[in-house]
Amino acid sequence: MSAIRHALSIKREDDFAQWYQEVISAADMAEESGVRGCMVIKPWGYGIWERMQRLMDARIKAAGVQNAYFPLFIPLSNFAREAEHVEGFAKEMAVVTHHRLVSDGKGGLIPDPEAKLEEPLVVRPTSETIIGDAMSRWVQSWRDLPLLLNQWANVVRWEMRTRMFLRTSEFLWQEGHTAHETRVDAVAETLRALEMYRSFAEEELSLPVVAGEKPENERFPGAVSTYSIEAMMQDGKALQAGTSHYLGTSFAHASNIRYQDREGGQQLCHTTSWGVSTRMVGGVIMTHGDDDGLRVPPAIAPFQVIILPMLRENDGDAPLIAYCEELRAAIAAKDALREPIRVLLDLKPGKAAAKRWDWVRKGAPVIIEVGPRDMENGKVSLLRRDRLWNDAGKSDFSFPSRDEAVDGIAALLVDIQRSLFEEAAARRDANIVRDIDSFDALADFFNADARFPGWVEVQWSKPTGAALDAVVERLKALKLTFRNVPLNADAASGACIFTGEPAVERIYVARAY
């Protein structure tokens, strides 16, 4: 296998962080913008996000949640009102103070001192407060509940250290905000959103995740409980890929979201919020990428099938182009994964082999090459991106007839979708350790293999307050964090590895993004 000349210059095992940057560049997904902390999401990267958005939006709508749109700007006073809330965002936000530019008299422009805002406006870091304001107007009676809202939006958090898709000052997300009559209803919605995220990640992104509850120290500020889905990246680190919060009545109290109950009394609503972001794109890269670039699960691939005619770039190409156009139309007429297949006939100028490697780096699931001789013989050369190399270290083309290729394409895409999931799930399962029964053993484990150590599931007594803080500090010294308490974990049976007290549940410990 070492004879293979991979398409990237950096291998995952040599420098995972550099490899990640190279995939983004080689797959033409995004680039730095020149604006501090903000990236440009290029068509291939944005196309993947659009697909995620489309599929997630269908799930959100199917749950009866309605999309709406709220202002980009939030008055400063909203934040002062929710001091606890602000604490959680470290106050790093973009602040608008002026509404006009004026010449500086030296050929440049400056904010016009005459156009200073009376009250500065904050660019939303999340929309809790402004959506809470709206809910307080929209909810009057129990008949108005549940109120199930979602927003697709850009948000800004001024990040000092950024990494494309994983942490940028501006990012794209959806934020669900719901209000309910009772605690039971709101907790059910919190868990419904969590399950929506789990099934979305596993079915659409081929991303195996653990759904569970965050410990107290990792809760969203002000939340009663915070749940997450956690995915294991190929370097063994955890990525929190989505969160869902049960907020109790504290946000309703701050925003005055009250309703008249069935008996005529006034009650505070129980609220929830839940979100996923462009961060998921980073999770897909670090889960499915390989040393040849990205591999995109078919459900979220902007194009699932690429047809590459071997053109000579002269007038003799016309019959081959016509043949490939007919092939494209035949494939586009088929459905896979519940939608028409997205197929591109790539006629851009350039050598077919160079173009093939462009699509390999981008991770298009299936590449079909057709030369003049293939056309004569009624065959095509087909490459599946998830299994690029054969045992001999050569590109693992298959050579079905044109009709076999068309008839088999839907099943092939389904198989790639499933296969990527299984590969990631097997790797994840092989890298979870469950037999560590002391803090020293935990430290040894993570010190022994500092690079790609995986996750450890430990038993703990669920300390709170200062006792929890002390445990968190001990983990921090090892660069470790608690991830979550899986919903489907086995019951605890031993002693807590931190306190020695009887354990009450199992929790994941890992390095994390």
Beta bridge partners of 112: none
Note the Cα 38 to chain centre separation in Å: 17
Structure tokens at 313: 């770039």
Q: Are 462 and 197 in contact (CB under 8 A)?
A: no
Phi and psi angles of residue 245, each rounded to the nearest 5 degrees, phi first? -120, 135
DSSP state at residue 14: T
Comparing CB distances to its own copies, the nearer of 78 and 381 is 78
Comparing CB distances to its own copies, the nearer of 130 and 305 is 130
Comparing CB distances to its own copies, the nearer of 134 and 456 is 134
Q: Are 360 and 385 in contact (CB under 8 A)?
A: yes
Burial of 504 (0-12, 13-18, 19+ CB in 10 A): middle
* Minimum separation from the CB atom of position 376 to its own copies (A): 29
Phi and psi angles of residue 54, each rounded to the nearest 5 degrees, phi first? -60, -45
Task: Please give the angle made by the CA atoms of 334, 47 and 70, to the nearest 5 degrees.
Answer: 120
Measured CA to CA, the distance from residue 483 to residue 22 in angstroms comes to 28
Q: Are 292 and 7 in contact (CB under 8 A)?
A: yes
* Minimum separation from the CB atom of position 413 to its own copies (A): 20
Q: Which of 205, 164, 167 is nearest to 25 (CA)?
A: 164
**Alpha-carbon distances of 386 from 171, 331, 413, rounded to whole Å:** 29, 20, 11
* Minimum separation from the CB atom of position 67 to its own copies (A): 5
* Minimum separation from the CB atom of position 458 to its own copies (A): 37
* Minimum separation from the CB atom of position 303 to its own copies (A): 11
Phi and psi angles of residue 486, each rounded to the nearest 5 degrees, phi first? -60, 140
Helix axes 279-288, 43-62, angle to 10 degrees: 110
Comparing CB distances to its own copies, the nearer of 173 and 439 is 173
With tokens 């293939």, the residue in question is 374
* Minimum separation from the CB atom of position 275 to its own copies (A): 18
Task: Please give the angle made by the CA atoms of 488, 492 and 498, to the nearest 5 degrees.
Answer: 115
Measured CA to CA, the distance from residue 262 to residue 280 in angstroms comes to 41
Neighbours of 491 (CB within 10 A): 9
* Minimum separation from the CB atom of position 437 to its own copies (A): 45
**Alpha-carbon distances of 306 from 41, 367, 459, rounded to whole Å:** 22, 5, 49
Q: Which residues bind its own copies (CB under 8 A)?
A: 31, 33-35, 38-43, 46-47, 49-50, 66-77, 79-80, 86, 91-102, 107-112, 120-123, 130, 133-134, 137, 143, 149, 153-154, 156, 158, 170, 172, 348-350
* Minimum separation from the CB atom of position 92 to its own copies (A): 6
Q: Are 126 and 155 in contact (CB under 8 A)?
A: yes
Measured CA to CA, the distance from residue 3 to residue 52 in angstroms comes to 36
Comparing CB distances to its own copies, the nearer of 5 and 143 is 143
* Minimum separation from the CB atom of position 179 to its own copies (A): 14
* Minimum separation from the CB atom of position 406 to its own copies (A): 22
* Minimum separation from the CB atom of position 110 to its own copies (A): 8
**Alpha-carbon distances of 124 from 73, 171, 229, 247, 449, rounded to whole Å:** 6, 11, 24, 19, 41
Beta bridge partners of 482: 509
